Structure 1
Amino acid sequence: MKAKFFLLFSVLLMLAPLAAYAETTSPVEQLDEISDEALQMAKLHRYDDANRILKHFSEEFLTVTGNGRPFSMDELRIITVAHEEAVEAMANAEMGHNERMNKVTKFRLAIDAIASTHQPLWTEMEGPIMTVFNNVKTAANEGNNDQFHTNLNSFLSLYNVIYPSMKIDINPETIQKIDAKVSFIDQYRPQVLSEASSQEELEALESDLQTIFDEMTEDEADPSLWWVMISTGSIIILTLSYVGWRKYKGDSKKSKKVQKERKN
């Protein structure tokens, strides 16, 4: 009976930190959830609903900042600009669905970059961005003018979507370095197409982008989960050890009892 009680008590202790962790939602995480709701509405072409949610976000954001949440000036500027672009896109009936999605996705990723403590959502764009950039390189190497411009425009569009998020998560020196390469390639397209030396900028930019994605997507657990994992593992080991010890003691008693009966 004592063993069962101990096991039940241990399980409750094990689940308690998990429940506390799951129920804890910070104001910034709530803003993150609101931004995701807006994105989901936009995906369904429910632009009016998305717009209402974005306006609700603005109200909640003012409350959070009014309560002293320490957003940096850069974060405030990035959030404000991205939010305004998303609102304008949802209200613009003449704007195509893809462009609207780009605007609200940019906003969503920026909020997530602020809310996330590891592996922000914008890193999920690595595949599309690196694929289309590889197409830019291939077209440049082959001297294919049309494909080069088409793929470069696609890359710039995707880059623009994650740019605010990158500014939040990446140090300014690295962002400026990448920006300079992107601007050069965009501004001097004919030169990049015709000169091998200019095409080296493509290789350098690809390397910089890959380094950023690699550094941001390193496999790391959320630090706040480490205590939960360690305590849970300790309780499981303790419980199994106790149950094993009880079983050992029980088997020993049975063995002694059998031996005693045989002697009698």
Structure 2
Amino acid sequence: MKIDLCSRTKWQFLQTIKKAMRKKHTRRNMVVKIAIVDDESTAASLLEGCLHQYAEETGTAMQWEQFPDAEAFLKSDIHAFDIVFMDIDMPGRNGIEASRALRERNQSIVLLFVTNLAQYAIAGYEVDALDYILKPINYFSFKLKIQKALETVRRVQGTLLTIASDHGQQLVRDSEIFYIEVQGHNLIYHTLHGDLTATGTLKQIEAQLKPSGFYRCNYCYLVNLRHVGFLDGSEVTVGQYKLQISRNRRKEFLQQLTQFYGRGGR
């Protein structure tokens, strides 16, 4: 059997690209990057020990970096981290002030406070903190909180989808989709990287994406709830888009949105 050299070269090139894409997308799923911001080296080391034990027990791939104060953390590449453990009582800029500055630049990072006093953690609501851990840290309490944080990270990162668009197979994370619109027999995926057109039914894709926080606001639109900005009467803002909410779906849409954020959605 003769194989055309150009065709073979093209095939090898495509396989290399596909392999690289799989590697690129799975690496982000496999390794969770964590920042520990605490001026007390003993407390930070104890937290590191808990992370190491959890990684050993569960096989979860995690990398962590320790910062001695808030300023050092804020000067780092804060978008490189998925989770941050933030001490509240620190000299200079405390954890609450640092978290306000953090949220101005990064809204998706999962924030957990570490504190000696539970009443300080109440302030976490204003900076969308997921939870808090009381010092001295014990492993049982830590394990519950890190499991909750990791589940939130997975929702934020999203699931990788393969979309058979009119330009061929496209890999898109569900977290990067603003909403999906039905037009005749086509589905329009409005994403962070532009629009994709594919064949299919909204009912079918709705069943697939509902567990990831997608819900219909009317017959034509399936909305990614993590991108909802605000509601104004019968209109919902999703990213830069403004969509109409049908009267018969408005109440249930609001309920789904409330439940989504109540689970720590982003």
TM-score after normalising by structure 1: 0.30
Structure exhibiting the larger radius of gyration computed from Cα positions: 1
| Greater strand content | 2
- When the two structures are superposed, what TM-score results if normalisation uses the length of structure 2? 0.30
Pick 1 or 2: higher relative contact order, CA cutoff 8 A, min separation 6: 1
